[in-house]
Amino acid sequence: MVAAVGLACCLAAVLAGCGGGGSSTKNAEARFRVAFDTVQCDDRAISSQTEQKDRASLRSLVRADLKLPRVAKLVSDARAEDKLREAMRKAAQAPGHKPGALMNDFAAIYQSRVKLYADEKALGFRCVTPPQKPIRG
């Protein structure tokens, strides 16, 4: 009888743990969303020390939450945009650079921003704005 009660308790604990996976993901994403919104959306005057603390907290959450698919996608898309911007900067500084040569890169940056915006919206960030299309000239 005692073994049956013990087995029932263990089974209940396992089932409760399995059912909580989605909930813990949502909680982690909510924690990440609050940290992001604190850093990006807070328009009140704060000290630089408080801002540095908030940014450090956000960086820490990013590292901890990289296992979450939406956070990993956001970070991956942000890194891809950073690489594209760096490549554009190097191309613009290269000898013999022609100003009109970067128009395709501006379109690629726009597409990258669209991806990031979708990632941010999927995570529920509240103060994000859709990217503006590049000016054609």
Chain segment 38-89, per-residue pLDDT in tens: 777 766 666 677 778 877 877 787 777 788 888 899 889 999 999 999 988 8
Does residue 16 form part of some domain?
no
Instruction: Give me the residue label for tokens 């013990």.
Output: 6
Question: How high is the pLDDT of residue 125?
Answer: 87
Which distant-in-sequence residues (6+ apart) come within 8 Å of 70 by Cβ? Answer: 29, 119, 122, 123
Domain encompassing residue 74: 23-123
Share of the chain above pLDDT 70, in %: 77
Does residue 136 form part of some domain?
no
Q: Which burial class, exposed, middle or buried, applies to 71 when counting CB atoms under 10 A from its CB (0-12, 13-18, 19+)?
A: buried
Does residue 4 form part of some domain?
no
For the chain, the domain total comes to: 1
Instruction: Give me the residue label for tokens 């996608």.
Output: 73
Question: How high is the pLDDT of residue 60?
Answer: 80
Cα angle: 100, vertex 106, 112; to 5 degrees: 165
Does residue 106 form part of some domain?
yes
Which pLDDT band holds residue 11 (cuts at 50, 70, 90)?
very low
Chain segment 93-122, per-residue pLDDT in tens: 888 877 777 777 888 899 999 999 999 999
Q: Which burial class, exposed, middle or buried, applies to 57 when counting CB atoms under 10 A from its CB (0-12, 13-18, 19+)?
A: middle
Q: List alpha helices for 20-128, DSSP H.
A: 21-41, 48-64, 69-93, 103-123
Does residue 137 form part of some domain?
no
Chain segment 127-136, per-residue pLDDT in tens: 888 998 877 6
CB 38 within 8 A of CB 51: no
